[in-house]
Structure 1
Amino acid sequence: MITTLIEGVLETRSNFILAAGAVCTLTAATMLLLMRNADIATRQQRIFAAIWVAIVAGVGVWTTHFVAMLGYRPDAALTYDLQLTLISIVVGVLLVGVPLAGTMFITEDRTRIIFGMIAGLGVAAMHLTGMSAIENCLATYNPFVLALGVIAGMGGFTFAMLQDLSVHGSHLRKGAGIVGGVCALHFVAMAAVSLDQVEAAVRGIGGSFLSILVAIISLAVFTMAMLATFNHRRTLAQLRAGV
């Protein structure tokens, strides 16, 4: 089992592993900045922040996945169906981002656990949708290893959602839970998959086009998100100061 997991990680080039981890960390940090001081925000301000949390979480998880996939199995020259690739963004926003954003309005631990589990399952759904976009290879999975990855992802997000942001050090633990959940699910799930190349020629987007697509979408979203984050935090600081 351990050998299988290690081989799954080693099939991705190390520089892309680091890049994917950096994107995931940036995603978590942006989300935490948006979530901070939510207790003093008006309902309208909280809704504004929640919308951006959902978008950042969904696009961030999607970007993490495809950055890692750009470095996966360079010998296979993977191609992707553009429509399914774009659909996987929507899956990420709806099934990962929305549950995470929903925790901004909920204080009950039981409900937070449920939302964390849904978000973990959402990462799995986004991952599998993204993998189904591969056109020139047939993917088969070891169900036990795949289930282990899904459980790890759910565990990371559940841990993150249970953190009380008013407690010292909770932001770091929450961020670690999110990053750990996403990365554990992705790399364990990649250890579970076997790709067999399909002989028939299939048209699809290749690595060069995919890298440009990922860069454009992620840069656009994160740039707008950071601007929205700074504006949101300035507004909350003024509210706290009574300005």
Structure 2
Amino acid sequence: MIGTLIQGILETRPNFIAAAAGVCTLTAATLLLLMRNLDIASHQQRLFAAVWLAVVAGVGVWTTHFVAMIGYRPDAALTYDLTITLISIAVGVLAIGLPVAATVFFDAPMIRAGLGVIAGLGVGAMHMTGMSALMNCLPTYDPFVLIFGLLLGAGAFSWALSLEGPGAGIQMQKALGIIVGVCGLHFVAMASTSLDFVEGAVAGIGGSFLSIMVAIVAFGVFTVAVLMTFNHRRTLAQLRHG
């Protein structure tokens, strides 16, 4: 299995691996900033944070996936169905973002851990939806490697979201859990994937268009999210020290 995992990683260009890891790290950092000081927030402020947590988590994981996919198999010109690619954003927000957002309303570590499992499996759902958008090839999967990836994602998210505390060490552990849950699941799942190219397939969007779309969606969401996050943090900080 280790050889299969290494091969799966090597099929993505290193600069895109680094870019995907960077997007995932930014996503994790934004989520943690939104979650800070929520213990003193009003119900309305928690709802505000929850909405942005859902959007940032879903779009962040989606962006990580497709940034990595742009650099996947540089020897092959992969094309994607635009409608399914857009649907995969909604899957990310619903299947990943909602359980992450729900953790702000629960104090019990076991409940947050359970929501983390759902979010981790949601990463898998978003990944498989995104892969189903491929138009000029048919992906098949090694079930054992794929299940390992799903378990890795669910376990990492469960651990990360169950942690609680303001300390820098706890925050670093939570960020690490989120990053491992997203990037680990993606690359393990890609290691489980074999592509069979389909002759005469209907053309879809290619790497150039996909790159522009991913950049626009990610830049728009993260710009607004970062601005709203710092404003939200300033309000909560004033409550804590006021």
- Normalising by the smaller structure, the TM-score range is over 0.9
Residues 1:238 and 2:229 are matched in the alignment: no
Matched, 1:42 2:56: no
Asked whether 1:81 is paired with 2:81, we answer: yes
Q: Is residue 139 of structure 2 the alignment partner of residue 150 of structure 1?
A: no
Distance 2:120 2:168 in 1: 25
How far apart are the structure 1 equivalents of 2:132 and 2:141? 12
SS in 2 for 1:139: strand
Give the C-alpha shift of residue 166 in structure 1: 3.0
Q: In 2, Cα distance between the equivalents of 1:107 and 1:239? A: 20
Rounded Cα–Cα distance in structure 2 between residues aligned with 1:46 and 1:93: 17
Match of 2:119 in 1: 119
CA distance in 2, matches of 1:168, 1:178: 15
Give the equivalent residue in structure 2 for 1:202.
202
- The aligned residue for residue 133 of structure 2 is 133
Q: What is the aligned partner in structure 2 of residue 188 from structure 1? A: 188
Normalised by the length of structure 1, the TM-score is: 0.98
The aligned residue for residue 218 of structure 1 is 218
Using the alignment, how far apart are the partners of 1:152 and 1:231 within structure 2? Answer: 34
- Structure 2, unaligned runs of 5 or more: none
Q: Deviations over 1:6-29 (max 9, x none)?
A: 000000000000000000000000
Q: What amino acid maps onto 1:9 in structure 2?
A: I
Asked if the contact 2:67–2:211 (Cα under 8 Å) also holds between the matched residues in 1, the reply is yes
Q: Which residue does 1:14 correspond to in 2?
A: 14
- Supply the AA of the counterpart residue of 1:32: L
User: Match of 2:92?
Assistant: 92
Q: 4+ residue runs of structure 1 moved beyond 3 angstroms?
A: none
Work out the CA distance in 1 between the residues paired with 2:188 and 2:112: 25
1:45-56 to 2 correspondence within 5 Å? 45-56=45-56
Q: Distance in 2 between matches of 1:80 and 1:146?
A: 21
CA shift at 1:238, angstroms?
1.6
CA distance in structure 1 between the partners assigned to 2:168 and 2:20 by the alignment? 28
* Rounded Cα–Cα distance in structure 1 between residues aligned with 2:225 and 2:149: 29
Please say if residues 36 and 165 of structure 1, whose CA atoms lie closer than 8 Å, have aligned partners that are also in contact.
Answer: no
TM-score for both structures, normalised by structure 2: 0.98
Q: CA deviation at 1:165?
A: 2.5
Shift of the alpha carbon at 1:201? 3.3
1:45, 1:138 → 2: CA distance?
45
Q: SS of 2:194's equivalent?
A: strand
Residue aligning to 2:173: 173
CA distance in 1, matches of 2:120, 2:240: 34
Stretch deviating more after TM superposition (217-226 or 166-175): 166-175
Q: Secondary structure at the match of 1:169?
A: helix
Matched, 1:109 2:118: no
1:23 maps to which residue? 23
5+ residue gaps, structure 1, are none
Instruction: Tell me which amino acid in the other structure corresponds to 1:150.
Output: L
- Looking at structure 2, the residues matched to 116 and 18 of structure 1 have their Cα atoms a distance apart, in angstroms, of 25
